[in-house]
A and B are shown apart, each in its own frame.
Chain A
């Protein structure tokens, strides 16, 4: 308890720390938001709750890591992971996801859970269980002698932003993007209007997988990955999507950044041992909040 108080004390004693925590939080939050956006897409369009979300992220990271060790420039890892994971996503869609779309909600949760186990273990068998990262030979920027921003991290955030913008533009402008949005609003109506929903589904899932892959390629440059770290990102994605709701891109980004910052503050005050617990407790809080909200609505209807 004393330690919690003295940690809080530090925040006031050295206000600059807050800035550092917020910057770190926004950086990790941006990547959480990317993975969560993919989940929101899949959830919203085809009502599939993908528990393997984090494993797609990690798989993307391994693609980038593996190729960079075989001579590819590390920054190229992001687009390459995007493309490779697009392919992986398509295969997974054909084999598993396409068969759970019309089924009840629990089915997709369990099926993707099985998928998560398979992916994590395949990565383990292929690449070993060590933590891996790509060391970029960029400098670290220092501000106020205290805030350190490795340029690699900065690049990562920039790429995450660029990717997010590209996806948003795509969804708004392109024909496919419009079809996806139409399907998510009403699949049957979309079908009546001549949209090939099957194609939309497979495209959406592949896109999700690709976004995750690119996020993973960024993560491997900034933090470390390990075959079994997927669950961390899956949990964050669920928290963010549950909090933001479906089809609400600004909401997803805000929730992603928010959770990043909240976690960093939590890590500072309670210790990083509580990071996972904090994320999960936030999820529970969001669920309970939604519940209370719902009850109120139901009561007013009565």
Chain B
């Protein structure tokens, strides 16, 4: 009963937030993006023990796929991305929204597929080599896209501005991210309670043993990564429309920003728990926005320090700490399963 009430209140806050704080619409939308990437990172990193540093690949690829689908349905892409074109190439409202929906979902599917292909190779790498390998994939992708003229190269891609009225425009992206995030959360809550969840936990705890027990580890690893890639891809697609203009190296394949932030969020909140990534993302995002407001110039030093301190001194994260110190809290709120997850 208490639990139902808890979730109901949370849901209410989620829906009311953009109306309560209309000036912070973009920051709130970004918060949901952080929650999504943190939750998806934790699927492989926390629950399965494969620490990827390259999940940003799916974010960037999602942005590009969504944009290219949208543009490709209306205009020839090569002409659209040509900087020197003089004629206007515009989109109607219908084309915009079709692009937004089809593009984002298409981006998710494309990313899931690419996760299977890339994963087939990289999941052979163990430990830090997996992290380095996936990081390499993300960096290489950014560099290659930045040299690919057809998609605009280093100029990036410009999408149309939101065509509807201003007030709906302010909340529409918030709700797109929020719906994706809530769906992801519910999906993961269910997933971790199934055999699948147990299997990927077994892979984390001892892969050889899991294999010996008859678990097709590769199949589970690929499925888990593809699922997480799907959600990151969708989020990337929505981001593309929210940002309107993006370019490969610093926005789409932003390896050293969002690519690492998602990992830090998870570590901060608590690896291998359902709530950890959510709590971590909220805390990290708040700290980040505050430092950007009040420590101008020193914001990166503060962030770097936060990363070092989290990683070195506080690796169990907030949830880990709470579970250790206040186990009775969790008896009330969260099922036992998640506690086992942190073991």
**Which residues does A use to contact B, with CB under 8 Å?**
49, 96, 99-100, 103, 105-107, 109-111, 113-122, 125, 231, 235, 238, 242, 271, 273-274, 276-277, 280-281, 283-284, 287-288, 290-291, 294-295
Q: With A111-B312, A287-B136 given, can you name 8 additional A-B contacts, CB distance below 8 Å? A: A96-B312, A100-B312, A105-B127, A111-B307, A114-B306, A277-B144, A280-B136, A291-B125
Determine if B140 is an interface residue (Cβ-Cβ < 8 Å).
Answer: yes
A271 to B312, CA, bound (A): 41
User: A107: which of B133, B143, B315 is its contact (CB, 8 Å)?
Assistant: B315
A111 to B267, CA, bound (A): 12
5 A-B residue contacts at CB 8 Å?
A111-B312, A121-B304, A235-B139, A274-B147, A291-B125
Residues of A close to B303: CB separation below 8 A: 114, 117
**Inter-chain contact B140/A107, CB cutoff 8 Å:** no
Residues of A close to B308: CB separation below 8 A: 96, 111, 114-115, 118
User: A121: which of B136, B146, B301, B306 is its contact (CB, 8 Å)?
Assistant: B301
A32 to B297, CA, bound (A): 31
A-B pair number, CB within 8 angstroms: 107
CB closest residue in chain A, given B53: A109
User: A110: which of B256, B301, B307 is its contact (CB, 8 Å)?
Assistant: B307
Residues of B close to A120: CB separation below 8 A: 300
Known: A114-B311, A121-B304, A125-B297. A49 touches B133 (CB 8 A): no
* Interface residue tally on B, bucketed by range: 35 or more
CB closest residue in chain B, given A292: B124
Residues of A close to B176: CB separation below 8 A: none
9 tightest A-B CB contacts, nearest first = A114-B307, A117-B304, A118-B304, A277-B143, A114-B308, A121-B300, A105-B128, A280-B140, A111-B311
User: B132: which of A116, A119, A121, A287 is its contact (CB, 8 Å)?
Assistant: A287
A119 to B136, CA, bound (A): 22
Residues of B close to A288: CB separation below 8 A: 121
Residues of B close to A277: CB separation below 8 A: 140, 143-144, 147
**Inter-chain contact A49/B128, CB cutoff 8 Å:** yes
Known: A117-B303, A118-B304, A273-B147. A106 touches B132 (CB 8 A): no
Secondary structure dominating the interface of A: helix
A105 to B264, CA, bound (A): 15
A115 to B303, CA, bound (A): 10
A134 to B62, CA, bound (A): 43
A295 to B128, CA, bound (A): 18
Known: A96-B308, A110-B311, A117-B256. A283 touches B301 (CB 8 A): no
**Inter-chain contact A125/B51, CB cutoff 8 Å:** no
Residues of A close to B300: CB separation below 8 A: 117-118, 120-121
Residues of B close to A273: CB separation below 8 A: 146-147
CB closest residue in chain B, given A285: B136
A99 to B144, CA, bound (A): 37
Determine which residue in A96, A116, A238, A277 has the highest number of CB atoms from chain B within 10 A of its CB, and name it.
A277
Determine if B129 is an interface residue (Cβ-Cβ < 8 Å).
Answer: yes
Distance to closest chain A CB from B150 (angstroms): 13
Determine if B282 is an interface residue (Cβ-Cβ < 8 Å).
Answer: no
Residues of B close to A274: CB separation below 8 A: 143, 147
Determine if B131 is an interface residue (Cβ-Cβ < 8 Å).
Answer: yes
**Inter-chain contact A284/B133, CB cutoff 8 Å:** yes
Distance to closest chain A CB from B117 (angstroms): 13
Distance to closest chain A CB from B125 (angstroms): 6
Residues of B close to A242: CB separation below 8 A: 129, 132
Determine which residue in A113, A271, A290 has the highest number of CB atoms from chain B within 10 A of its CB, and name it.
A113
CB closest residue in chain B, given A281: B140
**Inter-chain contact B298/A284, CB cutoff 8 Å:** no
Determine if B260 is an interface residue (Cβ-Cβ < 8 Å).
Answer: yes
